[in-house]
Structure 1
Amino acid sequence: MSESEFVLKTTPPRMPRLAMERPRLLRYAERLRDCAAAAVVAPAGFGKTTLLLQWRQRWLEAGARVAWLGVDAQDDPARFTVGLLQAARNACAIRDTPPSGSPGLETLTRMLSEVARNGAWTVIVIDDAERLPEATVRQSLQYLLLNAPANLHIAIGSRVPLPLRTTELVAKDSFLQLSTHDLRLQLEESMVLLERRLGARLSVDERACVHDATEGWPIGLQLAIAAIEHEDDAAAAVRTLSARRGSLQDYFVDSLLAALPPHAADVLTRIAILDHFNQELCDAVSGLSCADLLQQLVRETPIMMVGERDGWLRLHPLARDFLRGRFEQLPAPERAALHARASHWYMQNGRLHDAADHALAAGDEALAQEYAARALWMLGALGKVDEAREWLQRLPMALLESDAELRLGAAAVLAFGNRNAEALRMASDVLGNPRTSPALAVVARRVASTAAAYADHLGVLEKLLASWPPVPADVDPLYTANRLNVGAFVALHRGDTGAARAQIAQAATLGREGSLRLAAALGQMLVGLSHLWDGNPRLAEEVMRPALLLAEREEGRRSMIASLHAPVLAAALLQLDQQTAAQALLANRLDVIERCGFADNILLAYRTLVYAALAQDDERRALSVLDSFDAVAHRRALPRLRLQGLAERVRLFALRQCLQSADEAMVELDALAAVFAQEELRPYVPHYQLVASVARSYVALERNDIDAADSALDRAATLAALLRRGRDARAVKVLRAVVARRRGSDQALPLLREAMSLASLSGNARLLANVHPQALEMAAEVENGALLPKAGRRRRASIDASAPGASGLLTTKEAEILRLLQRGMSNKRIALTLDIGGETVKWHLKNLFAKLSAGSREHAVDRARLLGLVK
């Protein structure tokens, strides 16, 4: 090989112009310094080389000497060794030269010795290592790994795992490996890349939709962007995104099919009808032995993805879309025969819902209906409610009416929809029939409890729980888990979060596979809720983040289980002051949350969106979200949602000094007392009273009716303690501190300091901002060591608080800010001058603009002059 060829092999490729830095992956560059070696293993299109180039840049900036070697199939041990030596010379200026004859391990040893003698921190990057002959990997590369001196680190990029003995290195925590899972783009990363390339042309939901379609495959996302960015209607392009045309189709034709033997493409085309498959199913549908092919595709291509269950695989959605296009070009009889094979296999293996889908696709509607009727119960247990609803609409009622168990299977699906009252009646009829068998009664009780929980009828759940007989030992453990989940739900809403978690811990011992999947997920959701209610967002995040990641991997982002988990985690992240991440969690699945979620899921989702909008100073969007929230409350007939929406309106209007609007919302809120007096909602009365008392305190506070605010907060504190709602108790404490400040009490700052301390322990960084902007101003005094309110008053005296307007149209603080506006000060300088937070300044400015009917800072000053508020 010529010297010029070695120069090319040892020269790093150009960094892609649009390469995005991914901090979570770049951090591994520093970790390699503590490891002998790192391997980045993933199929094509996952950005291995780009990441290695970014690491290289980090290492160079940190003072390392970095050698680069691109390898190929011609690199036998001797040629590989010469290449390593050339790369090391380029990076380290070592003096060693290979001896005469064929370079071997002796040459490698001399090179390693020279690197060690040099003493400098050195990294050798070996890219495209999957191309190396096996002999080179097992001999030369293995020797390099096991004998590298302490100052030398090896970074390897490969499409497939290499046959290296790394057990000893792993045991010593000296081998770092990144896989496809690590390199897959996370939602936030896809959002950033889409915004960078497409700007504001796509909404948050549309960006999430593109991420879902590409499932974090970097090259897939780049191709999707290329397909979207030249379209006039970007949103429409997202809705019609397909791998059957344009750049996406070209990629699969040129990079996938061109590299596969014809029989492999034929197999992939025929199994594209399968959501998930193992080797046995693949063999049955394709009529061929697929073991070797599947292993090759998993190792070498990005289109075959390993499922969560052992031995199961699935196609990447874009690849499947492309291959389905090819499947649809097959003759109709062949397509029907392939679906019939799949249906038969699924039926033989107890997967009746999948058998029904393929029987219908094969043209056998009667068989499909038979399978589907028997599958309704399992579909509901797996959380595949939308699929079950679709089948229920297809089934003839005569088929269900002939069998009580099938009717209950249908009722189990209806329980998760707007026909939940009908499901409850069906289950109650079975429970009220003295001839009902114990086994059927167990099923009916599950249906009844699901319908009651979905309707948010806590009173019905309490009655069911009180009369719940022991669950027979010989029935599906799902029904034991159901009983424990109901107990946890009731305990949680009674305020006993500890008892709720104890019930779920007991249910967790039953497992989470098969029919227990949805029940186990509901239990995890209740645990996350319990931590939020205790005021511990950190604990809620610890529980919900892994649960959500698992649900998304198993079922997808828009699955029912993932959509039940996401609002709980989003609410925790919002309190941890991660608003962008919280909003991203809800993107492109709010409709699923509205449709399949329980009242608490919907409440947390919308409350998160409202407070995220307010944190971004977008009150118009917050009000729009509340309008949508109110529509969902009416559509789902959930008074607790109506209650919370009205309470948020009261708070928002009161803080904006729109007191007439606040009063009107408060009248509607008070009218809900009669609704919560109904038997099925009566257990929620303390919760209703807590929310109403806090809302009433905001109105009283802004009317400067300090006694009324105090009285409302006394009531709220009692109720928060009764319900053991830690977060609400802290919010009440913050409001009492604000009331104490308005009263001129010396207890204002001690009260606030206590609330801040409790919030800090649990990680609730947004408590003060989400409760009242004046609390942020007071917090500055606490942080500065002020003990009494008069300290703040002394600081403000230099601003001349007796200015015109301070005791009339404007509050004292607004008058101060107006005078500073007149001087042309920025928000930041106003905050520094008044020793308050930037968010507090923004809040006061909005109030000031509203009172002066002004649209800008200059306009506000002009209006104030006309009114005689400033000179």
Structure 2
Amino acid sequence: MNSLGDPILTKIAPSARPSQHVPRELLLQRLDDVITRRLTLLHAPAGYGKTSLLAQWHRALTERGIEAAWLTLEEEESDAARFAEYLMAAIGGGSSGESMPTRAALSAIVNRLSHADRHTVLILDDFHRAESEAVCHFVRQLIKLAPERLHIVIASRDYPKLGQAVLAANEDLVELGADDLKFTLDEAQVMLNRGASAPLAEDDIARLLKRTEGWPIALQMTALSLRKGCDRAELIANFSGPAWELASYLSEQVLASLPPDVENIITRTAILERLNGDLVNLLCDREDGQFMLEQLEKQNLFLLPLDAQHLTYRYHQLFAQILRDRLARRDPALFRQLHRKAAIWFGSHGQVAEAVGHAIGAADEEFLATVLDEAGGWRMIPEGRMETLIAGLSHVSNATIARFPRLQLANVYRLIKQGQMTAARASYDGFRNSVERASLPADLWTEVNLVGEVLSEYENTPVRLEDLLAKEALILSLPSNDHLMLANVCESLGEKYCDCGWLERALEPTRRAREHHRALGSLYGEMFARLLEARIRLAQGRLDEAQVVLKEAAADIQRAYGPRSDLAANCAVYQAEALFERDALEEAMSLLDWALPHMEQSDGWFEIYASGFCTAIRVAFGKSASEADRIIARMRTVAAGRHLTQLQLLADIYEVESLIHAGRHESAGEHAEKIGMRQLAAAMSEEMPPYRHIALAASVCLAKVHLCGGDHQAALTEIETTERWARQHGHGRLLITLCILAAHAHRLAKQPEQAIVRFDEAVSMSMFQGFIGPFLDCWRFISLSATIDSRHATLRHTDRFRETFLRRLRKSLERHSAQNRDSTLLSGPELSALRHLDQGYTNKEIARLLKISPNTVKYHLKSLYEKLGVNSRRDAVRLSREQRLLDSSPDAAE
């Protein structure tokens, strides 16, 4: 995403002409008295002096050393991401804001405000102009999460829905309405007599105050008309009618007293939200635009300077709106022509939101479509201008959109971001089928393919080899300065290589994606590339490097976006996976306890869900089978809700793993057959299986099923196939698991020396990186004596580092085994029967000793066999000794 760049500084500071304001001491005192409340809301129609009052207060706060941030909102900030960008710029004193998802931006803003060591006042002026459901939701969350020292002040023509009822109940809300903002007699006297040749009589002022109902803008227009020399008696006598009619009448009075060329300037430039000398020259066919603005300011013609240099101005909103309506009625052709000129000027200066707004005002959908197309079309969405794009497209017919490929792609991208995947696919396929490749320029066809790849990634579509080759070729053909395209393509290529298992090849495009994100100034995009790098390092078995990357990323994310942002949740998931690998199970779950629910409610993708849920399940295996099953059920819910086929298949595989960990081997074998485990694992022999991640998980799980059934030869065959692939592709972590399982297979085959060699190999690959996770995953296939055998096999080497790791490993396995002994589902009577079985008693002898019937003994033993996954007394005794189910002391079995 692109950053905001240099914000428009006039939007983050009040008007530069405070000397023209009528002092409102009583209202300023009221604001001072409620600075400790959470929210102050000023809501009144146009012209009630909301901005003027807040500008005076802002100046007073600053003089007293109180931090006061200001943001004047416009229609373009109705996009929540754009709103957040400017809000960050406002509280940062004008430094650039970065475009990012609103949840991440909210965390960043709250985090930044929390660091303030004194009261901070945040003033949001003209909130009605940016009001949208997304922005209101953002502000509600900001109010809820903001630190106690923050006081938010919102000025709006409308009454926004910001949870005022709850705030009022907690005495955290202050409201000032039109009745509060009306001018008093003293204030009206200051306004009407300022600069007058002769002061008005107090009775006349009272009459005007009554007629205008204290409406500040009406009194200001009256004062201006009087200073221009209009007849006092006639002016006062003609005060009547509704407020809007009164304002229109007063505007006519003001315009009637102006020279024609000045009236022409005001009429033409009133269509602008902000104006400068260049725009005056453009719209009025002049060459002295800046000089004329300075003259208009001196005449107090409702023109407010927006910077200290008096280079940029705006009209009072009500006055400008009246003039716009007047011009649209009297000369609609000129009205549209002026908007067209303004749109072209703003577009050429890179001010997209303004260009689109004026293009809408030009009422020419072909022209509007051209403006949107030149602004980038679909590119406006990753640049953080989705709401501007949607606003523009709403004024363009489908027939016109069909003539602009980038707008058709914009429609597809919009549907993707709104979660309408079926409609997005239909729209994209329809577009591709309707155009010939030769009819589009090469660069545009590249954009078509990129949007299609974004769609496929959201749909979790399998990767094809030709797609990877095409991406590599595409990178070479893109302009070196098109960082947006290059960042997306490089990151996508890195992800796909990682998905296919080509880990080393995935690193280079991932690093290049980071560089392009940096060139864009997008820390947000760079963080995703860094998380992808950590994921690659984890799979390679380079645990130390992965944790360094994650630690640095977590620090940057917390500093920029806050500790509970979307990015923080994504990073926490990979951190939890790394912690599990080092047997820091409690730390891992403390991260997942908040990160997983957060991810379930926000955008995610298969890899991040797979990492989070699988780590949580593996931790639960060491606690209770029921907890693991609950997490698997949550995993299925997310898979169904987001149409993630891979995640659904992974949940199937982990159900089998859960049965194995619970010791229910026979049930595990049956369920493996039910879900087609052999077919899933068989995909390992394919060069490009649809889902490599699933094939790997299925192959490992199938090897475990074979081992549970005692079929060591089938297990070894499965292990050898996957191990050959893992060595070719540098999957260090996977190789550790396969070595552990191979060691157990050799023990079953009565090949103790080979078993020791394979287990020793697993230890060698694990100890320098501190990997414990693979051993915990395979704990049911590790005899604790294996760690002793491995230790004895290397005693002659006198390797103290290895000895230390083996002691740590043994301790972890003993703890894990002890925890699982409590969760094997063996009841008290079953354990009692097992103890007597271990001592060689017959069923009748056990019945007599336990004082129960022989049939009851048979029932307990049958249940026990099922839970242990065995079929005979001998196997039950062997497994109970191996797993130390009857030992109260971890050292008793030695």
Q: If the length of structure 2 is used for normalisation, what is the TM-score?
A: 0.50
1:500 CA drift (Å): 1.3
Report the AA paired with residue 410 of structure 2. G
Report the AA paired with residue 381 of structure 1. P
1:634 aligns with 2:640: yes
1:275 aligns with 2:98: no
CA deviation map 1:171-205 (0-9, x unaligned): xxxxxxxxxxxxxxxxxxxxxxxxxxxxxxxxxxx
Q: Residue 486 of structure 2: which of 480, 503, 506 is its match? A: 480
- The question of whether the paired residues in 1 share the 8 Å contact of 2:69 and 2:121 is answered with no
Taking the aligned partners of 1:857 and 1:737, their CA distance within structure 2 comes to 28
1:626 CA drift (Å): 0.6
1:808-827 maps to which residues of 2 (within 5 A)? none
Report the AA paired with residue 407 of structure 2. L
1:421-460 maps to which residues of 2 (within 5 A)? 421-422=425-426, 424-425=428-429, 428-429=432-433, 432-459=436-463
1:650 CA drift (Å): 1.0
- The question of whether the paired residues in 1 share the 8 Å contact of 2:71 and 2:87 is answered with no
Corresponding residue SS for 1:487: helix
- The question of whether the paired residues in 1 share the 8 Å contact of 2:613 and 2:635 is answered with yes
1:709 aligns with 2:715: yes
Taking the aligned partners of 1:833 and 1:605, their CA distance within structure 2 comes to 27
Provide closer, same or farther for how the CA distance between residues 661 and 735 of structure 1 changes in structure 2, counting only shifts above 3 A. same
The residue that corresponds to 2:409 in the other structure is: 408
Report the AA paired with residue 607 of structure 2. D
1:376 CA drift (Å): 7.9
Taking the aligned partners of 2:772 and 2:706, their CA distance within structure 1 comes to 26
CA deviation map 1:466-513 (0-9, x unaligned): 374443427622212333223323332333322211222334343425
1:682 CA drift (Å): 5.3
1:444-523 maps to which residues of 2 (within 5 A)? 444-459=448-463, 462-463=466-467, 465-466=469-470, 468-469=473-474, 470-473=476-479, 476-514=482-520, 519-523=525-529
1:3-402 maps to which residues of 2 (within 5 A)? 243=38, 267-268=68-69, 275-278=87-90, 300-301=117-118, 317-319=145-147, 323-324=151-152, 329=175, 331=177, 377=378, 380-381=381-382, 398=398
Q: Residue 781 of structure 1: which of 778, 788, 792 is its match? A: 788
CA deviation map 1:788-809 (0-9, x unaligned): 9xxxxxxxxxxxxxxxxxxxxx
Taking the aligned partners of 2:446 and 2:729, their CA distance within structure 1 comes to 31
Taking the aligned partners of 1:637 and 1:457, their CA distance within structure 2 comes to 11
Taking the aligned partners of 1:645 and 1:406, their CA distance within structure 2 comes to 39
Q: Residue 697 of structure 1: which of 703, 720, 731 is its match? A: 703
Taking the aligned partners of 1:370 and 1:499, their CA distance within structure 2 comes to 41
Provide closer, same or farther for how the CA distance between residues 732 and 559 of structure 1 changes in structure 2, counting only shifts above 3 A. same
1:623 CA drift (Å): 0.9
Taking the aligned partners of 2:787 and 2:671, their CA distance within structure 1 comes to 32
The residue that corresponds to 2:820 in the other structure is: 843
Taking the aligned partners of 1:726 and 1:832, their CA distance within structure 2 comes to 18
- The question of whether the paired residues in 2 share the 8 Å contact of 1:690 and 1:715 is answered with no
CA deviation map 1:753-785 (0-9, x unaligned): 221221122222222112224427245425763
Taking the aligned partners of 1:622 and 1:533, their CA distance within structure 2 comes to 23
1:676-687 maps to which residues of 2 (within 5 A)? 683-684=689-690, 687=693
Q: Residue 756 of structure 1: which of 742, 751, 763 is its match? A: 763
- The question of whether the paired residues in 1 share the 8 Å contact of 2:504 and 2:730 is answered with no
The residue that corresponds to 1:811 in the other structure is: none
Corresponding residue SS for 2:482: coil
Taking the aligned partners of 2:812 and 2:532, their CA distance within structure 1 comes to 42
- The question of whether the paired residues in 1 share the 8 Å contact of 2:61 and 2:67 is answered with no
1:784-799 maps to which residues of 2 (within 5 A)? 785=792
Taking the aligned partners of 1:354 and 1:851, their CA distance within structure 2 comes to 75
Provide closer, same or farther for how the CA distance between residues 612 and 687 of structure 1 changes in structure 2, counting only shifts above 3 A. closer
The residue that corresponds to 2:778 in the other structure is: 771
Corresponding residue SS for 1:457: coil
The residue that corresponds to 1:181 in the other structure is: none
- The question of whether the paired residues in 2 share the 8 Å contact of 1:563 and 1:597 is answered with no
Taking the aligned partners of 2:656 and 2:113, their CA distance within structure 1 comes to 61
CA deviation map 1:16-66 (0-9, x unaligned): xxxxxxxxxxxxxxxxxxxxxxxxxxxxxxxxxxxxxxxxxxxxxxxxxxx
1:591 CA drift (Å): 5.5
Taking the aligned partners of 1:832 and 1:507, their CA distance within structure 2 comes to 38
CA deviation map 1:120-144 (0-9, x unaligned): xxxxxxxxxxxxxxxxxxxxxxxxx
1:267 CA drift (Å): 4.4
Question: Number of matched residues?
Answer: 548
Report the AA paired with residue 726 of structure 2. A
Report the AA paired with residue 411 of structure 1. V
- The question of whether the paired residues in 2 share the 8 Å contact of 1:569 and 1:582 is answered with yes
1:651 CA drift (Å): 1.6
Provide closer, same or farther for how the CA distance between residues 297 and 612 of structure 1 changes in structure 2, counting only shifts above 3 A. closer
Taking the aligned partners of 2:812 and 2:443, their CA distance within structure 1 comes to 68
1:536 CA drift (Å): 2.0
Taking the aligned partners of 1:438 and 1:685, their CA distance within structure 2 comes to 31
Unpaired runs of 5+ residues, structure 1, are: 1-241, 246-255, 284-294, 306-313, 361-367, 789-830
Provide closer, same or farther for how the CA distance between residues 613 and 716 of structure 1 changes in structure 2, counting only shifts above 3 A. same
1:428 CA drift (Å): 4.1
Q: Residue 621 of structure 1: which of 619, 627, 633 is its match? A: 627
Provide closer, same or farther for how the CA distance between residues 262 and 455 of structure 1 changes in structure 2, counting only shifts above 3 A. same
Provide closer, same or farther for how the CA distance between residues 519 and 431 of structure 1 changes in structure 2, counting only shifts above 3 A. farther
Provide closer, same or farther for how the CA distance between residues 674 and 856 of structure 1 changes in structure 2, counting only shifts above 3 A. closer
The residue that corresponds to 2:301 in the other structure is: none
Report the AA paired with residue 118 of structure 2. T
Taking the aligned partners of 1:480 and 1:669, their CA distance within structure 2 comes to 40
1:303 CA drift (Å): 5.0
Corresponding residue SS for 1:323: strand
1:555 aligns with 2:561: yes
1:629 CA drift (Å): 1.0
Unpaired runs of 5+ residues, structure 2, are: 1-36, 41-56, 74-82, 96-111, 123-138, 157-174, 182-215, 217-269, 275-305, 307-311, 315-345, 361-367, 796-807, 839-845, 862-876, 878-885, 887-894
The residue that corresponds to 1:580 in the other structure is: 586
The residue that corresponds to 2:734 in the other structure is: 728
Corresponding residue SS for 1:512: helix
Provide closer, same or farther for how the CA distance between residues 281 and 735 of structure 1 changes in structure 2, counting only shifts above 3 A. same
1:847 CA drift (Å): 2.8
Report the AA paired with residue 435 of structure 1. S
Report the AA paired with residue 530 of structure 1. I
Taking the aligned partners of 1:449 and 1:705, their CA distance within structure 2 comes to 43
- Pairwise CA RMSD: 5.8
Corresponding residue SS for 1:324: strand
Q: Residue 603 of structure 2: which of 596, 605, 612 is its match? A: 596
Taking the aligned partners of 1:560 and 1:355, their CA distance within structure 2 comes to 32
The residue that corresponds to 2:536 in the other structure is: 530
Taking the aligned partners of 2:605 and 2:534, their CA distance within structure 1 comes to 14
1:599 CA drift (Å): 1.5
Which has the larger Rg?
2
Q: Residue 576 of structure 2: which of 570, 582, 606 is its match? A: 570
The residue that corresponds to 1:231 in the other structure is: none
- The question of whether the paired residues in 2 share the 8 Å contact of 1:734 and 1:768 is answered with yes
